[in-house]
Structure 1
Amino acid sequence: MKKYDYLVVGTGLFGSVFAHEANKKGKKILMVDKRPNIAGNVYTEKIEGINVHKYGAHIFHTNNKEVWEYVNQFATFNRFTNSPVANYKGELYSLPFNMYTFNKMWGVVTPQEAEAKIAEQRKEIDHEPQNLEEQAISLVGRDIYEKLIKGYTEKQWGRDCTELPSFIIKRLPVRLTFDNNYFNALFQGIPVGGYTKMVQNMIGDIEVRLNTDYLEHKEELDALAEKVVYTGPIDAYFNFKLGNLEYRSVRFENEVLDIPNFQGNAAVNYTDRETPWTRIIEHKWFEFGKDVEGNDLPKTVISREFSSEWKPGDEPYYPVNDEKNSALFAKYKELADKENDVYFGGRLGEYKYYDMDAVIASALNFTIKML
C-alpha cells in the first residue's frame, strides 16, 4: 500500500477542485506545485491592501448554476461587472461594441442608425473572407476594425491581421443597446479577499508541497501514490519527445502608484499598434477600490500587459489551437491514454483554452468518473 491515494500535480483550479472532492470522500491526497504559492494562474497577492491578480485579470463569470453554487462554498463573490474601456490614441470607447461605442464612433443615436452604418461598411467584403482582417470587416465594418480590433489583435498574436486565419474571429458581439456588461453571464463577480483565499479554502488541510517540480522528482513522487492527477503541460510530461506544443505568453509590468486612482476602471485596452502593451489592469477596481472593511485605499497598483511569442521556459498562457498544434496534441493525447494510473486535466494537461467555470465543471465531471 502506498502512502497516498492520489498525487495531484498543480494547485490551480482543476487540481484543487479534484483534491477537495477526493479528500471529502476520505482519500489521502498529496498536492505538489513547482511555484512557491498555491492557486496556479488565479493566484492573487496582497500589495498595499489590494488583491493583485498576479497572472492576469481573472473575472469569474458563468451561466452554470451548479458551478456558481459550488464556488460560493469557498468564497463570497462581489457584484463586479466587467465593462472594459478601449483607448485608441486617446479616444475612449466602450466595450463590448454597443450603442455607447457607435455613438462615439459615428455620432449615431438610434439602433437603426448604428445598424445601417455597420451594414453599409460590411459591404466592403463581398467574398469569402480570406484572413482575419477581411473576416472582421465583414462582421463589423472598416471603422470599428481599424480602431478597436486591428492593433490589439496584432499585438496579441504578434502578426498582421492579414496573416492571421479568419477562423480566429468567428463572431464579434454587436449590441444595439446601451449594455456594456462584457460577459453575457447570469453570475459574475470576484471572490472577496482574492482567489488565493478561495483556493486555500478548497484545499483546506490537504498536504501541499510547494517549490516542488514534479517532473524533476517524478520517480520518487510517483512511488508515494496509487494514482496521479497531472495538470501541467502534457508535452513536458512526455519530455517533448514529439515536439513542443505552442502557446502565446503574457508578460506583466507592475507598478505601485502613490495616487488613489490611475484610470478609473479595472481594464483599459490599448487598441492602437504603436502602444506596446495590450492593456492596463488597475486591480483595486475589481473590488471597487476598497479594502475588506470598506475603506478607500490611498494607493493603486497597475499592471501593463505585453503579449509575446512563447518559448520554452516562459509561462504558457494561451494554447495556439491551430491545425498543426491540434494534430500534435492528438498524438500526445494518444500517449496519455496509454499511461497507467495517470490522468491529465486542466488548461495545460488538455491543451485547451478554458474559462474558470469550464475548468471547474471539467474537474467536477472528472471526479464523478474517478471517485
Structure 2
Amino acid sequence: MYDFLIVGCGFAGSVLAERLASAGKKILIVDKRDHIAGNAYDYYNEDGILVHKYGPHIFHTNSEEVFKYLSRFTDWRPYEHRVLGSADGQLVPIPINLTTINKLYGKNLTSDEVKDFLASKAEVRNPVLTSEDVVLNTVGKELYEKFFRGYTKKQWDLDPSELDASVTSRVPTRTNTDDRYFTDTFQAMPKHGYTEMFRKMLSHKNISIMLNTDYRDIIEIIPHQNLIYTGPIDSYFDFCFGKLPYRSINFKFETLNQEVYQCTGTINYPTSNLYTRITEFKYLTGQAHQKTTIVYEYPTAEGDPYYPIPRRENQEIYNLYKKLADQTPNVYFTGRLGTYKYYNMDQVVAQSLTLFKKITMQAMSDVQ
C-alpha cells in the first residue's frame, strides 16, 4: 500500500515525492516517458554535448525558499541568460532596453530621454485587457510590429489581441542598459544538469519509480491512499467539458563542427523564418567542447502539451474542471498542466512546496 501515487516525474511531481517521502510517506511515482525530470530532462547527445531534450530550460527565481530547497540536490553554475532579437537586419537586446532603442533608431538617448521617447510612441489603452494592449500601451505600434506581433503569432498561432495580457507582461521594457533576460535574485543552472538534480531528488528509500507507465494501467491494481496528478486536468476527467487547448513545439537539433555558432545563448526571430528562436546549449551549460549543438523551435498545435493558452474562454473551461477537481476526494492536481497555468519552473516548485504544507496540515487536522 502506497500513501501516495504521483503521476508525472517533472518538477511538480518530483518535489512532492521527495517532500512526502522525507515526511515518512511511501511513494510510487510514475511517468509515461522513459525518463525522469519531465520537460527539464537533459542528456549528453552522441557527440557528448549536454542538451535539453524539450528546449532550453533556464533557471531563475526571486524565492530564497525555492533556491535553497533545490540546492539540496545540486550545486549551481552562475548563469545570466541574454537574448538578442533580429530586427531591421541587426541583432538587438531583448527585452527592449536603452541599447535596443539607440541601435534601432540611430540615437544616443539617456535613460531619462528614452522614457520620453517611448511615451511619445505609446498608444494609451484603457483598460489593458490583451497582450496587444500591454505592448501598445508601453512602446507603441512600431516596436510592437518589430518584436511582438510576429513572434506571438508564431508562438501561439493567435494575434496578441486574442491573448490575455499576462503573456506579454512577462517581458518588461527597460529604460537602462541591463541586457539580462531575467532580473531575478537567483540565476543559475544545475552544475551537472537537471536530470542529475532530479535523480538525487528521487533517490529517497521511500520512493519507487515506474517509467514507461500510464497511470490508468495501474491505478486499479496498485493500492494507494491518495493520488497527486500533474498531467492535463481535462484528460483526467476524460474531456467531459471539452479539450483545453495547448501549444506544443517541434525541436530541430543540429550539431555543428565548430566551437561557437552564435554570439549569445538565444536569438529570437520575431518576423523572419518559421522558427521562433535558436538556442545554443553550451552558453547555458558552460560546457567546453570542440563542437556545438543548437536547437530551432517550431511552435505547433500538435504534440506534447507544453503551454496552456491564456485566454478568457480557456480559463472558463478550466474553471469547470477545477470545480470537479475540488469535489474529487483524495486527489490533488498541481503543476502547469494540472492547474492550466503558464508557470515558470520556480513557480511550479513553489506551488508543490505549498501543496505539501497543505497536505501535511490536513493530515494533522484529520488526526486531531
TM-score normalised over the length of structure 1: 0.90
Q: Letter of the aligned partner of 1:315 in structure 2?
A: D
User: Do the aligned residues in 2 keep the contact of 1:251 with 1:305 (CA within 8 Å)?
Assistant: yes
Distance (whole Å) between structure 2 residues aligned to residue 216 and residue 277 of structure 1: 37
- Do residues 7 (structure 1) and 8 (structure 2) align? no
Seen in structure 2, the aligned counterparts of structure 1 residues 15 and 137 have a Cα distance that, compared at 3 Å, is same
Give CA deviations for 1:234-257 in whole Å, capped at 9, x if unaligned: 111111122111111111111111
Q: Which amino acid aligns with 2:327?
A: K
CA distance in 1, matches of 2:308, 2:349: 18
Q: Distance in 1 between matches of 2:308 and 2:127?
A: 27
Structure 2 spans left out of the alignment, 5+ residues: 361-368
- What residue is the counterpart of 1:316 in the other structure? 305
Root-mean-square deviation over aligned CA pairs: 2.0
Q: Is the 8 A contact 1:215 1:237 kept in 2?
A: no
Match of 1:354 among 325, 343, 347: 343
CA shift, 1:16, in A, is 0.7
1:298 corresponds in structure 2 to: 290
Q: Secondary structure at the match of 1:190?
A: strand
Match of 2:38 among 24, 27, 40: 40
Partner of 1:331: 320
Q: How far 1:133 moved relative to its partner?
A: 4.1
Indicate if the aligned counterparts of 1:62 and 1:68 stay in contact, CA closer than 8 A: yes
Question: For residues 304 and 121 of structure 1, what CA distance do their matches in structure 2 show?
Answer: 33
Q: By how many angstroms is 1:89 displaced?
A: 5.6
Deviations 1:105-135 (A, max 9, x none): 112222233223212212x557767864454
Separation in structure 2 between the aligned mates of residue 306 and residue 232 of structure 1, nearest angstrom:
23
- Report the counterpart of residue 341 of structure 1 in structure 2: 330
Distance in 1 between residues matched to 2:300 and 2:255, nearest whole Å = 23
SS of corresponding position for 1:144: helix
Tell me the alpha carbon deviations over residues 189-223 of structure 1, each in whole angstroms, 9 at most, x when there is no partner: 110111111111100042111000112433224xx
What's 1:113 paired with? 113
Distance in 2, matches of 1:20 and 1:74, equals: 11
**Retained in 1: the 8 A contact 2:164–2:311?**
no
Aligned partner of 1:88 in structure 2 is 87
User: How many residue pairs end up in the alignment?
Assistant: 356
Distance 1:165 1:357, change over 3 A: closer
Change (3 A) 1:159 1:83: same
Matched residue of 2:275: which SS?
coil
Partner SS, residue 228 of structure 2: strand
Cα distance in structure 1, aligned partners of 2:29 and 2:183: 35
Q: Calculate percent identity across the aligned residue pairs.
A: 41
Equivalence for 1:215: 216
**Counterpart residue identity of residue 277, structure 2:** R
1:255 aligns with 2:254: yes
> What SS does the corresponding residue of 2:321 show, helix, strand or coil?
helix
Amino acid at match of 1:308: T
Q: Is the 8 A contact 2:125 2:133 kept in 1?
A: no
Q: Which residue of 2 aligns with 1:293?
A: none
Q: Distance in 2 between matches of 1:21 and 1:168?
A: 31
1:148 is matched with: 147
Residues 173, 32 of structure 1: CA spacing in aligned structure 2 closer, same or farther, 3 A cutoff? same
Deviations 1:282-323 (A, max 9, x none): 1111023x2xxxxx301111110011224xxx2111112322
* Match in the other structure for 2:364: none
The Cα shift of 1:233 comes to 0.9
Higher mean displacement: 345-354 or 152-161: 152-161
Give SS of 1:336's match: helix
Residue 91 of structure 1: how far off its partner (Å):
1.3
More divergent stretch after superposition (258-267 vs 47-56) = 47-56
Label 1:370 to 1:164 Cα distance change in 2 as closer, same or farther (>3 A): closer
Change (3 A) 1:349 1:99: same
Distance 1:257 1:263 in 2: 11
Secondary structure at 1:220 match in 2: coil
- Is structure 2 residue 296 aligned with structure 1 residue 307? no
Q: Deviations over 1:80-105 (max 9, x none)?
A: 10111111263101111112111111
Distance 1:252 1:162, change over 3 A: same
C-alpha separation in 2, matches of 1:51 and 1:90: 31
Unaligned runs of 5+ in 1: 291-295
TM value normalised by structure 2: 0.91
Paired with 1:163 and 1:337, the residues of 2 have a C-alpha distance of 29
For the 8 Å contact 1:86–1:94, the answer to whether it is kept is yes
In 2: Cα distance, 1:176 partner to 1:267 partner: 22
